[in-house]
Chains A and B, each alone.
Chain A
Amino acid sequence: METKNIMIVGVGGQGSLLASKLLGHLLMSQGYDVKVSEVHGMSQRGGSVVTYVRYGDKVFSPVIDKGEADYIVSFEILEAARWLPFLKKDGQIVTNTQQIDPMPVITGAAEYPSDLVKKLKESGAKVDALDCLSLAEEAGSAKAVNIVLLGRLSHYFDLPEEAWMNSLQANVPEKFLEMNKKAFRLGKESGQ
């Protein structure tokens, strides 16, 4: 199988690391070669963060380059726009519609672009946008945005739900498992 590319993008502190860990675990359990690469460093603190997940029969490069991502999973809508040039032609964006102002916008040095979901769609990209924060809160915790997104992403994958659940179980603390399962289902069943 040709190597497939998933990019996870968001704002430092939103839980994208857990999402990439879970995806890595899931794809490994399906027998794929997997490479995961994180760009964070200082951006742990509210900066733009990106994680690359690549899988296939044999994966070489650990990074995803412009025009290569089969999926962009975005925790925040501006970040989906930032990384759009990395989407493959015909690739799929799955994004949270949440808006988090970056510091230059807060200080007035820059402006947050308007109508991003609409503009992303107009660019020709396939966009699945959902309000993950509300769904996460419905599931029981605003922190479950990452799991809502993965639930939605699972909709595009031909994998048994059991495999996703196993990876969920292996990566979240026992006491939050039920809440996260709910978040996963809410994500999976909502959207387009």
Chain B
Amino acid sequence: MIEPSDSAEALEFTKLAYEISEKFDTPVLLKMCTRVAHSQSLVETGDRNVPDFPYEKNIGKYVMMPGNAKKRHPIVEERTKKLIEYAENCPLNRVEMGGTEIGIITGSTSYQYVKEVFGDSVSVLKLGMTNPLPNKLIKDFAAKVDKLFVVEELDPIIENHVKALGLTVTGKDLLPVCDEFSQNLIAKAFGKDTAESYALEDVIPNRPPVMCAGCPHRGLFYTLKKNNCTVLGDIGCYTLGAVPPLGAIEMTLCMGASIGAVHGFNKVRGAESENKTVAVIGDSTFMHSGMTGLANVAYNQSNSTIVIVDNSITGMTGHQQNPTTGYNIKGDPAGKIDLEALCRAMGFERVRVVDPYNLDQCDKVLKEELAAAAPSVIISRRPCALLKYVKHNPPLSINRDKCVGCKSCMKIGCPAISMKDGKATIDNTLCVGCNVCSQLCPVSAFEGMVNKEDR
């Protein structure tokens, strides 16, 4: 396992990873931490080198049935020994001697914070390869410094290894196990001063992310909440259905988990759960890892209701195409998987499609499918409001004379609606005229609506 500490190393280490992989006949993991993944630094570009490796049939090596696997195990052990030798003396691990009072073993982004705080005033053993670890290199480094520290984010992996070598070292006694580090965090831990700054007395309200104005997911979650559903969610923009005022989603774990969860809920809790529990999963997440769960519901027969929120794109990660959109990642035409046909083929007889901008329709279909004595899929279909081809209506406005200030329209948590002097107002730079809010107004105070048929 190798861990770059910035973009330049990510490039350099990736090339090295291929070399190591070929030389030692081993898989290599390139471990990116959050900060390295979300930061950019300068890189030297080079020519792309694509060597031609012929594939050779070798059943004993590539078919891991027990007989073969047992024979491979000693080879793997032998390989690990060679990799430890390599780690002792490879370009991935290096010692930067400075002041010898303090010696710090570190790697990944923590190395950058250590250098930021200490410069050359301490000695550093920078580990670019964190598995297997170089025992001799670590011991030699420890011998050259007065006091040894390990600076690593999250679990004490390097620290435990150093301790197992019989060395005295300080790590998690000083630094937190949770969350990211920064230069100030390390400076403070080592008793150094950090910079002063300015402060305001006011309480600064949080600014959590919200679904965009006109997001197709909003109407669906409003309906789920109104029906008091237990919503088992998944990962995507629609996870924001967990945030107030919608607050509908009660569980999100990992991609695809919603369907397994609804199946489990219903199997264990029976009718009480079947009538109100739903899984909500995005089109992209469904293609990624929802189908196996769906097969489970169909095959092992739970009376579950699954909502696929089909916004015709992978919204959250930056609008990538997916197998339901008919285009590939480059935007070229590609195969298009028909969700309705797929669900029917898996054994679902009840497959319904709703428009999440139409609250009455959503409500009616949801009630029917929860009540039905068979598993069902509801496809909530409308493209993401940010897609270029989506045509928006002109912004709505609210007739202040009619508005009674009941805040019904604010239940959907649209960033374009706020209260000004006791009446609702619409921010016309944000509103895209989706008309979801207007369906909630008891006194028809909304103006500028376009007929449903024209939408």
A residues with CB within 8 A of B: 11-13, 24, 28, 33-40, 42-48, 59-63, 65-68, 78-79, 81-82, 84-89, 101-113, 116, 119-120, 123-125, 142
Q: CB distance A42 to B194 under 8 Å?
A: no
Q: CB distance B205 to A39 under 8 Å?
A: no
Q: CB distance A66 to B200 under 8 Å?
A: no
**B41: contacting residue among A35, A39, A85, A89, CB under 8 A:** A35
Give A41 to B237 CA distance when docked, in angstroms: 11
**Which chain A residue lies CB-closest to B411?**
A107
Interface of A is mostly: mixed
Give A28 to B413 CA distance when docked, in angstroms: 42
Q: CB distance A65 to B198 under 8 Å?
A: no
Q: CB distance A47 to B35 under 8 Å?
A: no
Q: Tell me how far the C-beta of B4 lies from the nearest C-beta in chain A, rounded to whole angstroms.
A: 12
Give A124 to B429 CA distance when docked, in angstroms: 34
How many residue pairs, one in A and one in B, have C-beta atoms under 8 Å apart?
164
Q: CB distance A67 to B205 under 8 Å?
A: no
Q: Tell me how far the C-beta of B404 lies from the nearest C-beta in chain A, rounded to whole angstroms.
A: 16
Q: CB distance B204 to A81 under 8 Å?
A: yes
**B208: contacting residue among A47, A112, A119, A125, CB under 8 A:** A47
Most chain-A Cβ atoms within 10 A of its Cβ — which of B38, B194, B196, B212? B38
Q: Tell me how far the C-beta of A39 lies from the nearest C-beta in chain B, rounded to whole angstroms.
A: 7
Give A82 to B199 CA distance when docked, in angstroms: 9
Q: Tell me how far the C-beta of B162 lies from the nearest C-beta in chain A, rounded to whole angstroms.
A: 23
User: Using Cβ atoms and an 8 Å threshold, which residues of chain A touch B413?
Assistant: 103, 106-107
User: Using Cβ atoms and an 8 Å threshold, which residues of chain B touch A45?
Assistant: 209-212, 237, 240
User: Using Cβ atoms and an 8 Å threshold, which residues of chain A touch B205?
Assistant: 78, 102, 104-105, 110-113
B residues with CB within 8 A of A: 6, 35, 38-42, 109, 112-113, 115-116, 182-184, 194-200, 202-212, 237, 239-240, 243-245, 316, 318, 410, 413, 415, 417-419, 429
**A119: contacting residue among B112, B200, B240, CB under 8 A:** B200
Given A62-B109, A88-B195, 13 more contacts at CB 8 Å? A37-B39, A45-B210, A45-B237, A46-B209, A46-B210, A62-B6, A63-B182, A82-B207, A88-B197, A103-B245, A104-B205, A110-B205, A123-B199
Most chain-B Cβ atoms within 10 A of its Cβ — which of A33, A42, A103, A105? A103
Q: CB distance A68 to B195 under 8 Å?
A: yes
User: Using Cβ atoms and an 8 Å threshold, which residues of chain A touch B38?
Assistant: 37-40
Q: Tell me how far the C-beta of B92 lies from the nearest C-beta in chain A, rounded to whole angstroms.
A: 18
Q: Tell me how far the C-beta of A59 lies from the nearest C-beta in chain B, rounded to whole angstroms.
A: 7
**Which chain B residue lies CB-closest to A32?**
B42
User: Using Cβ atoms and an 8 Å threshold, which residues of chain A touch B194?
Assistant: 65-67
Q: Tell me how far the C-beta of B220 lies from the nearest C-beta in chain A, rounded to whole angstroms.
A: 16
Give A97 to B429 CA distance when docked, in angstroms: 16
With A11-B207, A103-B415 already in contact, the answer to whether A66 and B39 are too (CB < 8 A) is no
**Which chain B residue lies CB-closest to A101?**
B418
With A37-B35, A47-B207, A61-B113 already in contact, the answer to whether A106 and B199 are too (CB < 8 A) is no
**Which chain B residue lies CB-closest to A63?**
B182
User: Using Cβ atoms and an 8 Å threshold, which residues of chain B touch A124?
Assistant: 198
User: Using Cβ atoms and an 8 Å threshold, which residues of chain B touch A84?
Assistant: 197-200
**B197: contacting residue among A33, A85, A116, CB under 8 A:** A85
**A46: contacting residue among B115, B212, B429, CB under 8 A:** B212
Q: CB distance A37 to B200 under 8 Å?
A: no
Give A70 to B194 CA distance when docked, in angstroms: 15
User: Using Cβ atoms and an 8 Å threshold, which residues of chain A touch B182?
Assistant: 61, 63, 65
**A67: contacting residue among B40, B195, B202, B239, CB under 8 A:** B195
Q: Tell me how far the C-beta of A52 lies from the nearest C-beta in chain B, rounded to whole angstroms.
A: 8
Q: CB distance A78 to B195 under 8 Å?
A: no
User: Using Cβ atoms and an 8 Å threshold, which residues of chain A touch B35?
Assistant: 37, 62-63
**Which chain B residue lies CB-closest to A84?**
B198
**Which chain B residue lies CB-closest to A42?**
B209
Q: Tell me how far the C-beta of B249 lies from the nearest C-beta in chain A, rounded to whole angstroms.
A: 13
User: Using Cβ atoms and an 8 Å threshold, which residues of chain A touch B316?
Assistant: 42, 44
Q: Tell me how far the C-beta of B359 lies from the nearest C-beta in chain A, rounded to whole angstroms.
A: 20
